[in-house]
Chains A and B, each alone.
Chain A
């Protein structure tokens, strides 16, 4: 389980005439993602999703608040050690073009402190699960976009983390490749893994997520199951929920 408690991230922005202003990209966000749950993180561009995910993954230190992971053995983990329990993938996390997926998995496994035998075993498992047999030994820069994304996901799995944080993993992929990734996440959820999933594709979130957390301007707008959100907003689908909660709010803010 992963818990975000009163997370705040403040940045300084330079505007014209050298004037500096401070703003909260993430503003007092608290939520939890349970074991065996897929939480969808949605919001418009610039809402603070990537900053929030980076803080959850331990890549960025929060200005205020705290991220903690309750590991399988019940131990609460904070700070630098978070990374050992998390597999993080974003649109910005690319792989080394001059290596093959198998070599990358070996390198990551070794840094995570795994023995070579365990790495080899785990690598075969991952290659099998993600259907990478045909290209696992090819250089990354020779792979197609879909193959590359599967190789990226494999990198997150090598240390068998309890929590996956995926930031738009299906961006730019064809239907077949994105289906493979979605199916994989469903399967991982069944194994009791926690998944935080950020996307702009509402249909994907609707199909995949147990709970939806929507954020706008760094603040949580809603945090509930898809069914409850539909009921509360009187909407037919998630796209409509999104428009009602975010778009209408943005319009009314603009009118004010």
Chain B
């Protein structure tokens, strides 16, 4: 065996052995999937069958009959008949529930009725009156009380049945043929899905989520233990004394955590399938399944396809988890980093539950969501093998990228011997927080997902309710308000956090020029992508903005141009870029912030155009040493877009897609950046001279 692989194998076996001797890991890996999950399933099935089979239930129904024609005793008989199920084959009878029927001679008010249902004196109150030629039956019940709702259903069924009888009698009395008169069209449904397909559909909704959840839980502990745990125990330095590359160490750790995920997921599938098969077989013996007959061997191919998917998912999750946990100094700190990551991954894992999410070339590259939908399709016998390959390849690619990042991290002295400056300030005791310290990676890992999540949930709600005005409301409240509150608590220097540094009027002009250039580049880039791929910008998004743009130009400028220029710049170029540029190489910081800025716009075309603009705005902040030039540039981009949409003709807008404007755009950006860079130099010189 090649020496390299021999070393990786030795490191891997050592890590596996270490994890297998850890009781906590065994609990998560074996005990939970083999014992806990099936137990939960058995108990919930038992509870469900207990509820279903509970024939001691008594429904108390009170009737007040004012009608001269309605036969209240007949209603009682029908209700009691419906409570008994007759077996037509052997003539036996089974009491499903009981009815306690009482005819009241006093009318009850709605308020009194509500109180009596609340006090469980009865479940439903029926009031019967005559209105002209018709009998009117009113059922009073409480929707929020299960027994009351059930009682109402039973009354409804009985009244319908009585009504049908009356109609039938009337038709007969009129001398008509009841069958052709009452049922002029016969309808019969004939389900074509096999029992396996029905079972596959049900399993396809639940199983992918269960698999992803079990991988998540089982991978989390070893990922933390093998990175932050190792640092906490002091064995990391011992390990690094070995004459092996950080890449091998990272690979062995990732494979170990992934192995835990794979073992757990397989044990989970086996244990859940065993419980499911036993349940089906028991039901067959008891004759409860009503001819529902499943051939379990038909799911073997789906399971075989699921297996490689489980491996790549576990690999992806362990690599991603470790990318976060390797920054932590202790198990506790790593746990706090994991919370937002877990929430995002779990959210993606629920994809299989939504029937509207279909596996296409876009979903296939969204990690975890792709796996969830793929397993669902495999269980539904609808697997597209090209999608299967795309999912596998994309997950492997993400894992490799994460492992490469981790390898870099494991060669970083700051990460290995640093003094824990990555901790999240919110979890520190406030009196222990030093005033004016820089924003940490931990702070960013916490604040970014929290703000984005709130923005897309609460912000979307505010924008839907208040439309145009909702834009500044949501952006200032969430993108600015939450981070500012966090940084004030963490005693950060807001001027530094947001790069609110002095800049010359000339650099603002440079910002405006860069904005114009950026707009031209983004416009041509968007047009080119649309032409090449045939994809268009999300119509709903376009409609929303067109609706906004149709309003007063000053209001639109304030809400759509000025607000994002301040709020989005403060969040992306302020919080994110200003913190990252001190910790990473400028190129990586620009790349990360532009990708996140592109994703923030939630559209494939906009991802590329706003991503490119995000990069230009980051460069402005970087060269300008201040956030103000990028704010001016952002405002210019949005403002030009509003003016063109409102006042330019279609022909004028189209002419902007001429490649010449692209060259003009690039030149404008270059000149703008040059101006900003040079005017910043002068400012720095003046400030240094003043300080000296």
Contact = CB atoms under 8 A, between A and B. Distances in A.
Interface of A: 14, 16-18, 20, 54, 57, 59-61, 80-81, 83-84, 88, 90, 92-99, 103, 107-108, 110-113, 152, 155
Contact of A14 (B17, B21, B235, B438): B438
B437 A60 contact: no
A111 B18 contact: no
Most buried by A among B7, B238, B582: B238
A7 B468 CA distance: 62
B131 interface: no
B157 interface: no
B244 A111 contact: yes
A82 to B, nearest CB: 8
Contact of A59 (B240, B436, B582): B240
Nearest to A17: B436
A88 B241 contact: yes
B136 interface: no
Contacts of B6: 110
B502 interface: no
Interface string B21-62: 110000000000000000000000000000000000000000
Contacts of A14: 421, 437-438
A16 B237 contact: no
B654 interface: no
B238 A16 contact: no
Nearest to B21: A98
A94 B242 contact: no
Nearest to A82: B243
Interface in B224-260: 233-235, 237-238, 240-245
Interface in B490-506: 493, 496
A93 B243 contact: no
Most A CB atoms within 10 A — which of B3, B17, B243, B245?
Answer: B243
Contacts of A97: 233
A112 B240 CA distance: 13
B437 A96 contact: no
Contacts of A57: 241
Q: Pick the 5 closest A-B CB pairs, nearest first.
A: A94-B234, A98-B21, A83-B243, A18-B496, A93-B238
B283 interface: no
A117 B436 CA distance: 58
Interface string B639-667: 00000000000000000000000000000
Given A16-B435, A17-B496, A83 B234 contact: no
Contacts of B235: 93-96
28 contacts: A14-B438, A16-B435, A17-B493, A17-B496, A18-B436, A18-B437, A59-B237, A59-B241, A60-B413, A60-B417, A80-B243, A80-B245, A83-B242, A84-B243, A88-B241, A90-B237, A93-B234, A93-B237, A94-B233, A95-B235, A96-B14, A98-B21, A99-B18, A99-B21, A110-B10, A111-B11, A111-B242, A111-B244
Nearest to A108: B242
A112 B243 CA distance: 7
B18 A92 contact: no
Nearest to B435: A16
Given A59-B237, A80-B245, 9 more contacts: A17-B436, A17-B496, A81-B243, A88-B241, A98-B17, A99-B18, A103-B17, A108-B242, A113-B3
B654 to A, nearest CB: 48
B107 interface: no
Contacts of B18: 96, 98-99
Contacts of B241: 57, 59, 83, 88, 93
Nearest to B240: A59
A83 B240 CA distance: 9
User: In this complex, which of A59, A96, A107 has the most chain B Cβ atoms within 10 angstroms of its Cβ?
Assistant: A96
Contacts of B582: 20
Interface residues of B, number: 32
B169 interface: no
Contacts of B237: 59, 90, 92-93
B569 to A, nearest CB: 19
B434 interface: yes
Contacts of B14: 96, 107
Given A96-B235, A111-B244, A155-B238, A61 B10 contact: no
Contacts of A80: 243, 245
Among B241, B436, B438, max chain A CB count under 10 A is at B241
A218 B64 CA distance: 98
A79 B539 CA distance: 58
Contact of B413 (A61, A96, A155): A61
Contact of B22 (A84, A98, A108): A98
Contacts of B10: 107, 110-111
Contacts of B437: 14, 18
Nearest to B438: A18
Nearest to A54: B417
A113 B437 CA distance: 46
Nearest to A109: B10
Contacts of B242: 83, 108, 111-112
A225 to B, nearest CB: 30
A57 B238 CA distance: 11
Contacts of B244: 111
Interface in B427-457: 434-438
A16 B17 CA distance: 45
A88 B238 CA distance: 8
A10 to B, nearest CB: 11
Contacts of B22: 98
A57 to B, nearest CB: 7
Contacts of A98: 17-18, 21-22
A155 B237 CA distance: 13
A94 B238 contact: yes
Interface string B409-428: 00001000100010000000
Interface string B547-570: 000000000000000000000000
Contacts of B21: 98-99
Contacts of A17: 436, 493, 496
A42 to B, nearest CB: 22
A93 B234 CA distance: 6
Nearest to A88: B241
Contacts of B240: 59
A103 B22 CA distance: 16
Contacts of B436: 16-18
Contacts of A81: 243
